[in-house]
Structures are given as structure tokens and as C-alpha cells.
Structure 1
């Protein structure tokens, strides 16, 4: 990860700092920072007064990063307020680290933020430990080191103590980072969701002005803070006093809402930055891809502002103690417990309307629009500490930091449902896909893998989203997939049972006792096996008793209840008391109801959702069952796999990339697999026919000879594989045939003993610069792309991820029923996932086919592509832009 580029990051108090590597041009700023230190801070930093050689020391600190030296600075509004630097100690992997922070900015998290970024630079330089000499009385800086999250040791020796940090062991570093993130985001987003004062810029006098609608909503929905308007000509609008400019406002607002044309919006954000406004919502559109958009981004960096938008619907919070509505929604949504972040204003409007129709409400809504700054990651952190939000909803069209997103979403999903709409699911063509793995790893596949691993309940439409929100708002997820169907209309019950089986649910086998109780209760013509048909003539009360009996069965995890109103009775009227009394999940279905989904009791308290079609109820129930299954998985069981020589594979890949290799030759690919402990059939490489003869003489039995030729992507399909080659002379003939076929592009041949391939599978890796490595598993061989039965998960793989991959194929049940070695394939998946994680240069790996037998598995062919990539620190705190 490059540390020389400026990175926006949050301090503990929510202020935005700019962190970057220092350079010689910063020497004067470094010297000035030290000169501003108070006497006590100078004593703590230098164990005495400021050195007489401080000018030379400042120049050394500001030197360009080099072997054994690095320094990072934190800037607030372009002023340097903190520096952290290290100097390598001799030939060791240790470095002495030093910190200095402006006295007015101490305890704000500057030192911690600098150490986090400096540690990234140190690890990239191969350092493993930081060592700091600290005065015993300097408890503040000792606490900074100890709270960082790395393993540490304090050596006490008189008044000067030595603090040692181990950078190559995480200890509780991820948890410490997560806590600091939450604290900083809560402070930062409070400017947007709980501002004490707001100014609206761009309020027109016309009734159809967006700015006027925003102001009307803000005033009409209970905001109690100070409101002002910036308007160059008006004195008041809607009773709110106007100032002609940002500078003329009575006080610096905590939040501004900008509803101006693009060029004017850029000017306004710059003026707000100069005034010291900490946050803005930019409703304005038309900025992205223009010079105005560039000016907005530069203003965010220069002034340390937070921004929602541009091109957005706005921000809303229904907190009864401090409601804020800076949107242009047509009507006020109900207050509630659903938190929404959406890149699409239209989706936000549709969802707010749909929830209001269900009697459900929002806790907060943030429309991120073009997402220059505030993103879903920020809101996931906000909601982690927001007790009002019980359900989280996401509509995302792009990911800025998907690895962090997955980590935050998974952490949040452990405590409440997180829902997302799959956007952009159309099949994206993979240009020049040079392996079956690359062809399989479309953006949609990668996104779906991320959602599934993070425990996110994914849907395809806003209508489906509303279906699931209603379900999770009124019911808990089922404990399992065993479903009972109860109906007073036999056809409806059959349709529901069919839908359950299509969605991977299991029709529960009702116990003999349950059957006896139902027979004693219901008419003789009733069907008491699942699905249960009570007959249409059963009174509502009797139907409710039948549902109680079904739910009492220990073999039932959930129930779908299909009812139709007849002239005799309406069983739906009796369900509320039964559904609300127990812990089991129950959904109602009322064919013919006007709404796709509605509360069971119109206008009453939310008990459960009622759907107009049994297929919808079954689909929602399957999603909730999948979420509950995810909740039961261990969340951190990534195996250690000591047989993978991590340091060796890293060094090997780095050396090959340094030599300019892209696609590894057969010999190099074999060596990489050997270092990773991945089984490969014996493979020898021959550069000419003489070597081919010698290799064939050493290998017994029939051989496979495979061409290593430029631009030969798929060997079998391209005529690059010759089978059943016996002995040295046949090997010579095979080489000459391939030479004639490929000419000067033939670099050599790989020679392998032919083996019984058993069942042919595919295991591969496709690494994305944004998402990271994706592990692909599926049916293999020459028809891999034709069959296209595959599944994917993002690395690193947990044991649960590997098991899910093994069971995710359409053919999985038949595959493992055939008796092949599942354990061996699972181990292979875990090793490949480990390799993808520890070697950032691994852009593409294709093991196809992998031969699997009743005992063991072995890769038969391998393709490896490397790219020069710097490892990204998954925990480094930084904001977009």
C-alpha cells in the first residue's frame, strides 16, 4: 500500500485529518511544529530542552522515505499538527519510533492515527518491531502505544522506559481499530445526523424549487436547531432569515445543505470550507466528471469537511429527541427502526413510501449519490452504536473499500439483519478471459460472494426488499429449514409446499402425536399430513387451534399459513394471538389481498407479514433461514495451514514479478504449487526435443505432452495436448509435432505421466484490485465453461466457507454421493485460499482439471498469472478521496 499519497482519515473527535508521507518541502513545517511545543512537551520529546540542532533534525525527519527511514504527518486545514517517524536500528528488523503532536491537538487521536499509518510503511519495508524510549512520567504516550492493539512490552529501567511493539502480530489490533472507527464515525456523522445548526444554500422563491422543498421539510418536521438561508437578494424565505453570503451568516453552521447548479455548488463548498463548516449535504447534480466536481473534492481535502453527495436525495433522521430532514421527500416517513443508505435517490423515495404503507418507519436515511465522501461504510459504523436502528438496508451500485465493507457488514449482521439490493447484476463480459476461472469471476459473482460471506440478505428488487423488511420487522428468523404449511384451501397449501421445496426449504415430517391431535380436532375429510388442509368450512377459532398444534411439534421450525375468506369463516382473523405467542416463525398468505405484502392485522400492531402469494412467503422464509444459518457459523475459523510456506511463496512470487514475468512458465508454476503444498501430478519441463527424450526416458508408462506456447490459452482446445505418448522416441515425435503446429511460439513442453483423472473439478483464483482474491470452485475439464456449474467465495476462506463451496454446486449432492474424497478437496480449497491471501501478486490461478478419487485429489494442469500489486492493509483507517 502506498503511504506517500495523502489520505483523509478521521480523528477521535470526528475531525478529518490529512495523513501523508513527509517530504523535504515540509522541513519548515516540521521545525515550526517543534518550536510550538510547550516546555513540558519538549521535555517529554527530547528528555530536556529543544536541541540546538533542531533545524538539522527537522530536515532529517522530512527526508523522502528511504531504506531505514520514514515519516508521516497529520495536517488539519493544511497545517501540520503531528509527526511520527522511525529510523531502522542497524541490520535488524527493528526501528526506533518517535512522536510529536501539537499541544492543542493532543488527546484527539492524532498520535494513534499517525502510528497506524507509520506501521503500514514499516511492515512494507520489512520491519517487524517498533521501539520507543519514553519517560516513565509520560503516561499519555505510553497509553497511546499500549492501546494501539499490537502486542507490546514495557521495559522499566529507571526514569526512562522502553516500549516495544510487535508489528507482525495482530493481537487485538482489528478490534482496537474497529472501536476507534466507531468512536470517530459517531463524532463525525453527528454533524450530519444531529447538527445543532443548519444553513440551506440555494433556496428559490418558486414553490417547485428543490432548495425550498428541503427548507420546508426541515422546518415542518420538527428540527429545533438554528436554521438560516443563504440568498443574495432575499431577506427571509418561509420565515427564515437570509444572509447574502456564507461569510455573512450569523454563526458558522454545523451543516450546510447545497441546492445550487454545479459551478455555483463548487464555489459554495469552498466558501463553507473557509468559514469552517464541518459537514455538507450536496443535493446538486452534474458535478461528477467536471472541473466543478474536482474543485469539490479538493475542498474536502483542504478543509477537512464531510460531505454527503453530490447528486443525492439528502439526509434524514427521525430521532424523536432531534429530528432532522434535509431531503425533498414528498411526505414525512414514519419514525421507526429501519436504517437506509442508498446511492439512488429514487430507490430511497420508493422505499420510504413502501415502508410508510406498511406502517413501518425509518430511523435514518442517507442518500450518498455520487459518493465523494460519506459511504455505506460510514453508516455501517454509525449504526453499530445506534440502538434505534434494528434493520439495516443498503442499495449500492459501487464499492469504494469492499474488504472493509464486508468486515463491517458482517460485524453488524451479527446483531441485526442487514439487507441489500443487488444492483448491476447483468452479465459483464470478461474481455480476453485467459482461464476458466477468469471467465467465471464476473463482478456480479464477486459481489454476491461478498454479500453471502458478510451475512447480508440480498434481494433483486425494491419489492422483494419490502417483503423481507416486513418479515424481519415482525418475526425472528427460523431456527431451521423445516416448514409446515397449514391452509383452509388445499390448492393454496400445495402451491406453498411446492414453493418451499423450490427455495431449498424442507417440508417438516409431523410427528404421530401431532397427527393424532389434528385428527381429533379437524373434520374427518381434513388432511393432517404436511401440508395440512383443514378444509374450507373450519371456523376461525378451530383453525387457530390447529396452528397451535402444528407449532408445538418439535420437528417444525416455521410455518406458512394460507387462508382464504369464505362465507363460513375467515381464519386469518384468528391468527394474531397464535402467531404472537411463540418463538417460531410464521408467515401468513392471503391470496387476493390488494397489497403484495401487508401487516397481518391492518392498522394494528405488527405481528407478522401477510403475503399475496405463497411463493413470496416461501422465498422470504428461505432468505431468513439462510441468515440464521449464517449466524450459527463460526466467524473466525481460518485455518493456519503450516504446510503452506508463506515466506517462501511470497519471496518466489515477488522475484518472478520483479523479473517481469506475467504468465508463469510450467516449471515456475509447478514450483509455486510445491511451496504452497498444493498437490500436482509429476511434471517435468523440456525446452527442446533432446530434453523431451531424456525426460520421457525417466518417466514410466504413457505420457501426456503439453505445449508451452505464446498465446496458447487453453491447451486442449488449442491442440496443445498430446496423450498416450510412450517412450523416448514417441516423445521426440510429439515434440516435433507440436513444433510444427506452433512454430517459433513454442517455448517448450511439459511432460506428465498420464493418470486416472477420476472426477474432474476446477479450483481457481481471480484477484481484483478492489475486491481482492476470489476463490472459484466447480466442475472442471474441457467442458468447464459449457457446464458452468461453479461457486465462489472471497479469500481468506474459513472452514465454513470451504464447506459452503463444496455444497454450492447444482451437482453437489450427486458429486459427493459418488464417493470421491471430499476432505481432500476441502483441504485443497483452503490451501488455495491461503495462497491467494498471502501472495498479493497472484492475479489468476487456474487448476483445471483437478482429478479427484475416492482417496485424494491432484491438480493435472495449472496456469498462473502474476501482477505487480502492493499489499493493501485491510485495517488502515482512511476516507475516500
Structure 2
């Protein structure tokens, strides 16, 4: 379906749709067998005061949903009409989702509907919508009230939208990933022809359905009969592989659409850079409802024995359990080759190429319901709809680990990502916060990805970060312990009981601390017994084993059998001198690989740390942060509305910064503790403020765009007399010329620890909440934690522990309540930014901690017109 807003030019189509409704549908829609004429309905639907949307299929209007905006704040009545052939296919639900998004944008708290009680289909659609609603049955008519999603309803509604999208997406992808038949268009007679390579691979893999070849200039290719065009293939075609020149792709796509092809795999490159060719391809896909992979795709792979689809000109990809999706064909080849080597194999693999349509989001939805996929790995260079990606990835990550290979982290990488597939690279900090929220484990390269997958697929999840290091070479154990510490793991002290048991088992020269050094003289059997002992120690969550071969023996061969006795704790091995980064070591001759063995302890520690992070994420309650006590949304909204009055989207940035007094008022509405602030417009007024405060004060210039007041000379501190205050005001006025909007007078807050709490909005990713050291340290020490909003309660709590400087500062504070007070300020800033999407930037710097109190002494807030929330809508990219 192609959904768009309706206007006056659509009146004939709306009239035709309603005029073609059968009699029973007319009765259900209008409660009478003799409704107003279709022309009257069409005129009403397309009026400017009506929010109306149409569903188009193959160019024809097949569904309409609308409401008229009512005066006086009355809830508008919604209505839906869908052509009989398209009913019960989800068109009504899709149109209602559009109405919900429109109602949210219009600021409507609710909509209403009158539905005949016998109209069970429409009542079921409303029930399944996922929004709070009430149905009052009044004889033949049911009165329905549907509330728009509030913060507490947001997750339920998004889950319902996502469930519908998953169902629709899975159905649309079946023609691509489980096609009943395939046609390769453009397979040539030359062996190096890309189309011929794809054709031969599909045939060699034993594709389970009919395979056809289209080439107007050849009667046979690779021994198979050719058809001159897709129109002349006598059977139905689900998937067409396009390997024709870029200039012909649009025409061939049009032919495929007319023939009823449901999905296109475009391996041709150069289409996206040819605007005309790209437009023709998109237009054909839109009109005929075809899904597109590519252009510039390496291909598609599904190793399911019921399908056996290998529509690719790449190598690698034996049957297995890992799903792979990447924009880069080279990354797909590298990943599938490494997964084959490890024995993990591939369930499905997709090279999205230029990603006109199908991308990583689609594959995440597919894998979420694919029992063959036990883990997934992605390589993405940009996100179209980040909030949707988060919800989709989270859905899969609850069942199976999801690993993402970062891209565009460096300046050079960002340049490459921007040019490749014409997609801009996501800012690194925002991307990391996105991955954290979604439960996606981010790595920097293919080696880290396969190492992480080896641990995640072969070993049980660790219960925590406490690691025991066991080695028959003391230096190796030390290196491993250092690597664990670097990656956030804890080399935990062993209990007296565990140490005593080790001492009885090992030679007197052994070290039974942690790391445990058995010495090189112990037998392989004794080493294995030490490993079994450590896996039963309650103070340990995982064991890292480092082995080297000596003239006495080599314990490596018994590590995997000993690990098989582990009571649900992961065991990771390290073998110095191993020629490859990671291999799998089987516990028995006929068993699958069970223990990942790394060549380097740092790589092993990194992979184990990712497993710990996943376990922590899985066990962290996904509970929305509660609304802080005492906040005044009405007052906050009033301040923002007043400040935005007269501003437009094109207003200069400096014009959107809140005046200092308004910024402090906004914090007060959120009940953030601040130092009282008064804005003075003359030296005499500043002196009067000083008298009212009754103590030493600080003067601050309130100038638009003034980021670092202290550095720019905009702060004068510890002024203790009327004369000092008046002179200070004149100094600031002279220093900043006509820039100041006034001078802020505040009481002097005693020195203390300083924090920064900030919010920045990054469309379309949302608002990012940041916490770190404040004051003059904020630009020197790069130690901040970030979380995307809206946040969970766990997100806000982690913001105090992730920045090491902040965690140390709070741990050193003698007042135990200080942490709770800082956490409360963070929660209030998160609420403020979530409740007011016009806040483009807000920063408290510093928040001063002293004598058991927290005080915001400086705040800056920038406003910008709010953008509509696209999370409520299902859309295709074209």
C-alpha cells in the first residue's frame, strides 16, 4: 500500500471508492441503506479542515480514513472505508495508524467513533490497535472513545504497531527469502557474466523451486533454456534477479511488475547514481508492490534445506545458525567465510547494497521469528528510522544475541560511509547510545564480531563480570588479568575455601590467588581438575584459561572436556601462537565446537565482556522512568510557548536561546534545585538585587550564543559590596557591548564537586542525555555517559556509574544522600526534554555538589520547532 494525505484533487477517486461500496458495506459505514451521495462524502473528506488519508494499490484508491477538526476542543469523529477486495488485509489498521499520528501532531487527546455493534470487523480493528479505549454499547450502535498514547501508553502502542509491521514484513519478505520460483534476468553466455554466476550458484545449491533464465539474445545459458522476456515465462515468478545494465533496470522492473513478480534482487551497480534509472525502479516497485534488495547487491542466501536459495555471486555461507546482513558485499563475504571456518555457518545472509528498500531492519524482523537463526550480525552505515530500529532490534535481542559492526567511526570512515550508498554516517556517540538501548553489541571489526559470536553461541551466559584466570604460564596469566581489567571485567579474589582446595591440588610452587598459576610442571589432568574446581567456585562467573605447550606436557587438549562439566559458567581459552584469531575446540570427537579459543587474551576478554554486557541487559528491567514528583508541565509548556512565539524554523540559532531568567524558570517548573537568579538591566538594579540576596554574589553576562561564560570573561565572582556589584555590571556591559540581554545576579554558591548534565536533540534519533564532569573540566576530560530519551529507570541509574570520574566523585562524597539527589536532577532533566520536544539543547554546567546539597548554578536552553514523531508510522523508504 502507498499511503498519503488526500486533497481536493483526490475528490473523483474518493467519490468512486464510496460509489463502488456494496450495499452491506454502505450500511456498516453510514448506518443506512440510503446514505448521502458519494459526491457529498468526497467533498467533505477533502476539505481543508479534514485530516484524510488514502491507501493506494497499483495506482487505485482502495481505502480512506479521516476526521474533521472540531472547534472548541471537541474530540473529532473518525471514519474508515475500505474497498471490499482489500478488506481483512490490514488496510484499515494501517490507515488508523496514520490518523493516530495526525491526531498526535494536532495535539488531540482523543478521537471518537460510532460503530454499528454488528460491525465486528471494525470493532476488532479498534480493539487490536494497541491504544487505551472505551466501548459503550448502546443498542445497535457502539460509542468508542480512543485515547491518544501518553508516555505510559507509548510502549504498548509501539509494540502493537511493531507486531503488525513484523507480520506484514515477514509476508512481504517471503518472496525474497523463501521464493517459490526464481528468474534470473540478464544471465549471459560468458563465464564471467555476473548474472550467469548467480544462475549457476542457484542451480548448484539445489534451489527447491523452478528456476528460469531471461536473455533476449541467447537461446540457452549454462545449458538452460532462455526466455526472451519475463512476460513470456509460462509460470509464476516470486523473485527476479536483475543483472542487466543500469539503464535497463527500470524498464525490466516495470516488466516484472506487470508479470506479477513480488520481489526484485538487483545486483546491478550504478543505478543509485543514475537518478532517472533509480526513479523508474522505485516507481515500478511502488506501483506493483514489489520489495527491492539493492541495487549493487552481492545477493541473497537462505540455507534452509526446504529452500536452498543461493542467489549470489559471492562465496561462503554453509548452513548454520547466524543471520548476516550488511550494506557491503565485501563484509558479507568476510563474515560468511569466517562463520564457515568456525563451523557456526549461516541461516540467512543478505547484501543490502544501496538499500533502496530492504535493509537491516527488515532482516531483524525476519530473524525474530526464524527459529534457525540463533544469533545475528549487522553492518550498517546509517539508520533510516532509529527509534524503529531500536524497537525491532530489542525484539530480536531478547531471544538471540545481535552484534553490529561499527562503521564511520573515524573522519576518513565517515567520508567513505557518506559516499558509499549515498548514506550519511550516524554520529558515533548517538549510535552507541542507540545500540545500548536496543541491546545490540557493537564491535569495531570482523575479527571482534566472530569472536563475540563464538562466545555467545557456544558458551552459557555469564551471571556477572567476575573472572578467574587459570594459566600454566605465569606471564600469560598476568597479561590475561590486565586484559580483563581493561575491558571492565573483574579479576575477583578467590575465597579461602577455593584457595585451600587449589593448594591441595597443585604443587607448592603454584600461585593460588587470581590469576592462578599452576606452573608448567603440572600434568594435563591436574590442570583440568583445577579448571573444574574454579568453575564450581561461587565467587566466580567465568573462567579464562591460558595454556602453553612445554616439554612436560600440553594441557590444552583437556580444556574443552573439563569445561563440559562447568555448571553453566562460560569457559574461554587462550592459546599463544595460534595462527588464527579464534577457533572452536570440541569437547568430544563427534561433538560440535564448544569452547572458543583465542590467540590473544585481549580479544578473549573483549568477547567475554560483550557476553557480560548482554547478560546484564537481559536482566535489567525495561521499566520506563517514572515522572518525577512535583513537576509542573503546564507552567513548563507556557514558558516554552511564550519563548517560541514569533520564532520560525528559519530563525537564527542565537535567537532561539532562552533568556537566562526564562531558563531558570523552566528548571523551576521541573523542580530542579537552582541558585536563585535575578536579571538586572542596569548597575543600580544589580545593586538592588545584591541587597535582596544579602551576601556575596556572582554576576554573569546573559548574551546569546555565549557558551563558556568564564572563559569569555562573562563571569565576575565573589562581589561583596554595592560598589563592586555596580562596577562589575559596567564591566560586563562594556566587555560585551550590545550583546548582553542583561546581567544575571546570583548568590555565591560554596565551591564543591562539579557535574554536567546536558540534553541535545539529534533528529531523527531523538534527545540524548549526557552526564559527566562539569565546570572547567568538562572539555578537558572526555568522560561522559550518554543515554537516548525517553529513558528507562535503569538507564538513568547507569548514567551515574558509567563515567568513571563521576562514579569516583560520588563514591568519595561523605553524604550518602548526594547520589540520590544527583539522580533526581538527572531524572528531572530527562523528563523536561521528553515532555517538551521543542528543547533542542539544555545544559546544567555546573551542578555543584557541596555539604550534602546539589545546586544548578548555570543553565543554557535552546529551543527549536518540534518535528513530528515518526515512530508512530510504518513506512517503506521509497
What's the TM-score bracket when you normalise by the shorter of the two chains?
over 0.9
Distance 1:606 1:429, change over 3 A: closer
Q: Deviations over 1:710-745 (max 9, x none)?
A: 443321111111222234443332222222212222
Equivalent runs, 1:121-140 vs 2, <5 Å: 121-140=102-121
Task: Provide the C-alpha distance between the structure 1 equivalents of 2:451 and 2:482, rounded to a whole number of angstroms.
Answer: 19
Q: Bigger CA drift: 311-320 or 487-496?
A: 487-496
Tell me the secondary structure at the aligned position of residue 782 of structure 1: helix
Partner of 2:419: none
Distance 1:744 1:442, change over 3 A: farther
Task: Provide the C-alpha distance between the structure 2 equivalents of 1:405 and 1:215, rounded to a whole number of angstroms.
Answer: 33
User: Is 1:730 matched up with 2:715?
Assistant: no
Tell me the secondary structure at the aligned position of residue 716 of structure 2: strand
Instruction: Give the gaps of 5 or more residues in structure 2.
Output: 415-424, 648-654
User: Is 1:296 matched up with 2:281?
Assistant: yes
Deviation at 1:690, TM superposition (A): 4.2
Equivalent runs, 1:721-800 vs 2, <5 Å: 721-800=715-794
Task: Provide the C-alpha distance between the structure 1 equivalents of 2:672 and 2:350, rounded to a whole number of angstroms.
Answer: 47
Deviation at 1:241, TM superposition (A): 2.7
Instruction: Give the gaps of 5 or more residues in structure 1.
Output: 1-16, 431-440
> Residue 865 of structure 1 is aligned with which of 844, 857, 862?
862
Task: Provide the C-alpha distance between the structure 2 equivalents of 1:142 and 1:813, rounded to a whole number of angstroms.
Answer: 53
Distance 1:833 1:97, change over 3 A: same
> Residue 553 of structure 2 is aligned with which of 553, 556, 569?
569
Task: Provide the C-alpha distance between the structure 2 equivalents of 1:824 and 1:166, rounded to a whole number of angstroms.
Answer: 35
Q: Bigger CA drift: 35-44 or 660-669?
A: 660-669
Partner of 1:12: none
Task: Provide the C-alpha distance between the structure 2 equivalents of 1:662 and 1:718, rounded to a whole number of angstroms.
Answer: 21
The answer (yes or no) to whether the contact 2:471–2:546 under 8 Å persists in 1 is yes
User: Is 1:270 matched up with 2:278?
Assistant: no
Partner of 1:482: 466
The answer (yes or no) to whether the contact 1:22–1:63 under 8 Å persists in 2 is no
The answer (yes or no) to whether the contact 2:189–2:222 under 8 Å persists in 1 is no
Partner of 1:650: 637
Task: Provide the C-alpha distance between the structure 1 equivalents of 2:767 and 2:702, rounded to a whole number of angstroms.
Answer: 26
Tell me the secondary structure at the aligned position of residue 737 of structure 2: helix
Task: Provide the C-alpha distance between the structure 2 equivalents of 1:339 and 1:289, rounded to a whole number of angstroms.
Answer: 29
Taking only aligned residues, the RMSD between alpha carbons, in angstroms, comes to 2.1
Task: Provide the C-alpha distance between the structure 2 equivalents of 1:296 and 1:125, rounded to a whole number of angstroms.
Answer: 35
Q: Deviations over 1:109-134 (max 9, x none)?
A: 01111011101111222222222212
Partner of 1:549: 533
The answer (yes or no) to whether the contact 1:73–1:80 under 8 Å persists in 2 is yes
Partner of 2:624: 637
The answer (yes or no) to whether the contact 2:53–2:66 under 8 Å persists in 1 is yes
Equivalent runs, 1:209-248 vs 2, <5 Å: 209-248=193-232
Task: Provide the C-alpha distance between the structure 2 equivalents of 1:508 and 1:799, rounded to a whole number of angstroms.
Answer: 28
| Matched residue count | 851
Deviation at 1:89, TM superposition (A): 4.9
Task: Provide the C-alpha distance between the structure 1 equivalents of 2:308 and 2:592, rounded to a whole number of angstroms.
Answer: 24
Q: Deviations over 1:657-714 (max 9, x none)?
A: 2321411111221222222222221111123334333333322211111112344332
User: Is 1:152 matched up with 2:136?
Assistant: no
The answer (yes or no) to whether the contact 1:93–1:128 under 8 Å persists in 2 is no
Task: Provide the C-alpha distance between the structure 2 equivalents of 1:728 and 1:656, rounded to a whole number of angstroms.
Answer: 33
Deviation at 1:467, TM superposition (A): 0.9
User: Is 1:616 matched up with 2:610?
Assistant: no
Task: Provide the C-alpha distance between the structure 2 equivalents of 1:273 and 1:655, rounded to a whole number of angstroms.
Answer: 53
Partner of 2:51: 70
Partner of 2:66: 85
> Residue 315 of structure 1 is aligned with which of 288, 300, 303?
300
User: Is 1:838 matched up with 2:839?
Assistant: no
The answer (yes or no) to whether the contact 2:51–2:69 under 8 Å persists in 1 is no
> Residue 105 of structure 1 is aligned with which of 72, 86, 111?
86
Q: Bigger CA drift: 26-35 or 508-517?
A: 508-517
Q: Bigger CA drift: 763-772 or 716-725?
A: 716-725
Q: Deviations over 1:126-171 (max 9, x none)?
A: 2222222122211111111111111222212222221221224438
Task: Provide the C-alpha distance between the structure 1 equivalents of 2:584 and 2:570, rounded to a whole number of angstroms.
Answer: 15
The answer (yes or no) to whether the contact 1:359–1:603 under 8 Å persists in 2 is no
The answer (yes or no) to whether the contact 1:428–1:443 under 8 Å persists in 2 is no
Q: Bigger CA drift: 176-185 or 640-649?
A: 640-649
Task: Provide the C-alpha distance between the structure 2 equivalents of 1:462 and 1:48, rounded to a whole number of angstroms.
Answer: 65
Equivalent runs, 1:527-538 vs 2, <5 Å: 527-538=511-522
> Residue 678 of structure 1 is aligned with which of 664, 667, 672?
672
Task: Provide the C-alpha distance between the structure 2 equivalents of 1:645 and 1:193, rounded to a whole number of angstroms.
Answer: 52
Partner of 2:694: 700
Q: Bigger CA drift: 289-298 or 416-425?
A: 289-298
The answer (yes or no) to whether the contact 2:262–2:289 under 8 Å persists in 1 is yes
- Structure with the larger RCO, 1 or 2 (CA within 8 Å, 6+ apart): 1
Deviation at 1:427, TM superposition (A): 5.6
Distance 1:588 1:429, change over 3 A: closer
Task: Provide the C-alpha distance between the structure 2 equivalents of 1:811 and 1:185, rounded to a whole number of angstroms.
Answer: 45
Q: Deviations over 1:419-453 (max 9, x none)?
A: 111111126999xxxxxxxxxx9911111111122
The answer (yes or no) to whether the contact 2:800–2:807 under 8 Å persists in 1 is no
Distance 1:815 1:794, change over 3 A: same
> Residue 827 of structure 1 is aligned with which of 802, 824, 830?
824
The answer (yes or no) to whether the contact 1:199–1:257 under 8 Å persists in 2 is yes
> Residue 341 of structure 1 is aligned with which of 325, 334, 346?
325
Partner of 2:650: none
Task: Provide the C-alpha distance between the structure 1 equivalents of 2:667 and 2:132, rounded to a whole number of angstroms.
Answer: 33
Tell me the secondary structure at the aligned position of residue 60 of structure 1: helix
**Normalising by structure 1, what TM-score?**
0.93
Distance 1:60 1:201, change over 3 A: same
Q: Deviations over 1:323-381 (max 9, x none)?
A: 211111134x2111101111111111001111111112000111112211112111111
The answer (yes or no) to whether the contact 1:654–1:841 under 8 Å persists in 2 is no
Distance 1:710 1:804, change over 3 A: closer
Partner of 1:51: 35
Task: Provide the C-alpha distance between the structure 2 equivalents of 1:416 and 1:563, rounded to a whole number of angstroms.
Answer: 31
Q: Bigger CA drift: 222-231 or 771-780?
A: 222-231
Deviation at 1:415, TM superposition (A): 1.5
Q: Deviations over 1:781-802 (max 9, x none)?
A: 1231122221211112222112
Q: Deviations over 1:364-401 (max 9, x none)?
A: 11111221111211111111111111101111110101
> Residue 596 of structure 1 is aligned with which of 578, 581, 591?
581
The answer (yes or no) to whether the contact 1:426–1:444 under 8 Å persists in 2 is no
> Residue 165 of structure 1 is aligned with which of 131, 143, 146?
146
Task: Provide the C-alpha distance between the structure 1 equivalents of 2:698 and 2:861, rounded to a whole number of angstroms.
Answer: 20
Distance 1:659 1:693, change over 3 A: farther
Tell me the secondary structure at the aligned position of residue 832 of structure 1: helix
